Structure 1
Amino acid sequence: MLWTWDKTDAVVRCGLVSAVLTVAARAVISSCCWSSFFILWGALATLYVISAFPQVSTKGRAVLITGCDSGFGLHLALHLHKLGFRVFAGCLQADGRGRAGAESLQKLKSDRLHVVQLDVTSQAQVDKAVKEVKKILPDGEVLWGLVNNAGWATYGDVEWVSLDTVSRIVDVNVLGLIAVTKAFLPLLRRSKGTSIFTEASIREMAAKMWESMDPEVKADYGRERFEARVQLMKSYSNSGDTDVTPVLNAFTEGLVQRWPQVRYNPMNVYFRTRVFIATHLPECIYEKIYVG
């Protein structure tokens, strides 16, 4: 079992709960001493660690991952295959005409790694993928996990983004996720498996956005402000942690833990602090520190 920031968070929360219970107990029972806090904290933390430890075997279990053309989907497909899972890698362009993900997966020539054509916005392709998975799964093996990794996003002010773009985002990130989950739930239910949801060229996107923008909006905002926002997005996209290992570990734990968590947060200390400030402190403090 890997020790992660999620587990550290859980142990700290056990301490907070123990502190609240101890204070409440002292208010009712004056003889209750503070040593009970440490005993309770230790007991709760031990129970948590014990519950997080048991793992299922990867043998005889398959996982379907959407969005394996690049990014996390591609990395996760390779990672889970290495761990022993049978992997169905859903790609938007399984013939390799798009990004190199499908081609690199097919080059492995493994009997446990299958590239599946899967556009999550196409019900016909979703239905076909279900049939293909059923056909390929050997007797005695089950579809254990579904990782809804496929996602699409844009950036910019509301007036800059066309309704077609918004519709595309909803189709991929919401309706596509629901369609794939509904289609594969019967297979997952039989194996009592797991479903994981995730939220994935800036210059090309910016060009299309500017071309489709209303002339009045262009005049109001100006090209200079638009380009400044594009540069900000480039900086934001390149400022993240380049090590994808924590994310892959979070995906893996969600699939192999006997009692998986509802939510995994594979963030480093900086982003955990930032999220804490954003969610627990007044908005003005967050804006002063991070927005300016």
Structure 2
Amino acid sequence: MIAVASFVILLTSTIVYVRKFWLKEKKIDTTGKIVLITGCDSGFGLASALRLHDIGLRLIVTCLNNDSVGAKQLKKLSNTDVYILNLRNCTEIEKFIIQLKDTFKGGIWAIVNNAGIGTPGELLSMSVKHAKNIFQRSSFRNAAIQLWNDLEDEKRSLYNEQDFFKRFENMATNMDKVSEINLNPVIEAIENAVTSLNPKIRYPVGKGARIFNIVYSSLPVNLQFKLRKFTSTTRN
């Protein structure tokens, strides 16, 4: 098994090297292409907007706050239309779509759906406010307590309280361990997905992520399950 995994890793590394250094990837002509990017107040949204602007794409960007760093910075750019949009408000979204159809009749080349919140937990019982607090590292514990207190009794009975809070503590610790300060790998993946004539189906990002995904997907299902269980136990 180890020999097979080693061979797959070696083969994958060779393919990646050849593609990167010997095969020139074909790109689109960015002239007249319009890209919509959501969540550009900061982080990935702002960074990807700046990168795509630099390569000549016309941008439609949405920000939540008019006074955010991203909104102020992007308003200064040419060929960039900044909209203040609350993606939690369906009425605002519907009006925004109508406005886009009226203004950009030629259509949009690509959408970078950056804005969003992801976290394990009971989604239907979690308000957006709670979800946002979970990703503010300083209020991680308080957010978990508030989420627990707001759970319906029926749903709370499905969990062990100690295990519930332990899960959030582990998640906070793991976030610190795996978080990357450098945004470039993600921004490069976004740029490739938008500008490549042959974009990839998936863009694994992170140290060893590409090789791990290829090796992992080639394993039998029972071994995949055991590996996931092992890595989960190790992290916790």
TM-score when scaled to structure 2? 0.68
- Contact 1:117 / 1:129 at 8 angstroms: preserved in 2? no
Write the distance in 2 (CA, Å) between the matches of 1:219 and 1:146: 39
Aligned equivalent of 1:105, options 74, 81, 101: 74
- Please give the per-residue CA displacement for 1:72-106, whole angstroms capped at 9, x wherever unaligned: 22221122112221111122x2423xx64334433
Amino acid at match of 1:95: N
The offset of 1:135, in angstroms, is: 5.7
Write the distance in 2 (CA, Å) between the matches of 1:10 and 1:149: 29
Indicate yes or no: 2:190 matched with 1:255. Answer: no
- Contact 1:162 / 1:213 at 8 angstroms: preserved in 2? no
The answer for the alignment partner of 2:45 in structure 1 is 73
- Please give the per-residue CA displacement for 1:156-195, whole angstroms capped at 9, x wherever unaligned: 4xxxx363328x7xxxxxxxxxxxxxxxxxxxxxxxxxxx
Indicate yes or no: 2:92 matched with 1:125. Answer: yes
Amino acid at match of 2:181: T
Residues 53 and 213 of structure 1: is their aligned pair in 2 closer, same or farther, counting only changes over 3 Å? same
The offset of 1:253, in angstroms, is: 1.0
The answer for the alignment partner of 1:149 in structure 2 is 114
5 Å-filtered alignment, 1:99-248, equals 100-106=69-75, 109-134=76-101, 137=104, 143-156=108-121, 161=122, 163-165=124-126, 201=136, 202-203=140-141, 205-214=143-152, 217=156, 221-222=160-161, 224-238=162-176, 239-248=178-187
Write the distance in 2 (CA, Å) between the matches of 1:277 and 1:291: 17
Partner secondary structure for residue 280 of structure 1? coil
Partner secondary structure for residue 211 of structure 1? helix
Partner secondary structure for residue 154 of structure 1? coil
Partner secondary structure for residue 96 of structure 2? helix
- Please give the per-residue CA displacement for 1:124-182, whole angstroms capped at 9, x wherever unaligned: 32333234445655x9x7622111222222334xxxx363328x7xxxxxxxxxxxxxx
Write the distance in 2 (CA, Å) between the matches of 1:219 and 1:248: 40
Partner secondary structure for residue 53 of structure 1? coil
- Contact 1:117 / 1:125 at 8 angstroms: preserved in 2? no
- Contact 1:89 / 1:116 at 8 angstroms: preserved in 2? yes
The answer for the alignment partner of 2:26 in structure 1 is 54
The offset of 1:115, in angstroms, is: 1.6
Write the distance in 2 (CA, Å) between the matches of 1:203 and 1:120: 26
Pairwise CA RMSD:
3.6
Write the distance in 2 (CA, Å) between the matches of 1:207 and 1:244: 31
Partner secondary structure for residue 230 of structure 2? helix
TM-score when scaled to structure 1? 0.57
Write the distance in 2 (CA, Å) between the matches of 1:268 and 1:90: 30
Partner secondary structure for residue 143 of structure 1? coil
Aligned equivalent of 1:82, options 54, 62, 76: 54
The offset of 1:249, in angstroms, is: 1.0
The answer for the alignment partner of 1:197 in structure 2 is none
Amino acid at match of 1:257: S
- Contact 2:141 / 2:169 at 8 angstroms: preserved in 1? no
Partner secondary structure for residue 57 of structure 1? coil
Structure 2 segments unaligned to the other structure (5+ residues): 1-10, 129-134
The answer for the alignment partner of 1:268 in structure 2 is 207
Q: How many pairs does the alignment contain?
A: 207
Residues 225 and 246 of structure 1: is their aligned pair in 2 closer, same or farther, counting only changes over 3 Å? same
Quick check: which has more Rg, 1 or 2? 1
Partner secondary structure for residue 109 of structure 2? strand
- Contact 2:85 / 2:92 at 8 angstroms: preserved in 1? yes
- Please give the per-residue CA displacement for 1:229-252, whole angstroms capped at 9, x wherever unaligned: 222111222222222211111111
